[in-house]
Amino acid sequence: MSTPEQDPDEEKDEKQSSGQGLALGIALGIPFGMLAGLLFLDNLALGMGLGISVGIALGVALDARNK
């Protein structure tokens, strides 16, 4: 049995799409964290930290689910 060769373009697309969920999680985590920090904690920086943490966790989970 011979193994089929992968197209180099497919490998390139796979590498590029691997960080999209993480980037999306960070991009959405920061503003939602800021909002939550101002509303619930009265501290913008603390909310941003929590939002980024949750955003990274959700982004990595999204990337793992898509693979």
Query: Model confidence over 33-49: pLDDT tens digits?
Result: 999 999 998 999 999 99
Domain membership of residue 23 (yes or no) is yes
Domain membership of residue 44 (yes or no) is yes
The residue range of the domain holding 50 is: 19-66
Cα 44 to the center of its chain, rounded Å: 21
Q: What is the pLDDT of residue 11?
A: 58
Q: Which residues contact 22 (CB under 8 A, 6 or more apart)?
A: 56, 59, 60, 63
**Sign of the dihedral defined by the CA atoms of residues 25, 30, 32, 33, in that order:** positive
Based on the structure, what is the number of domains in the chain?
1
Query: Which of the 8 DSSP states describes residue 4?
Result: P
pTM over 0.85: no
Mean pLDDT over 13-20 rounds to 66
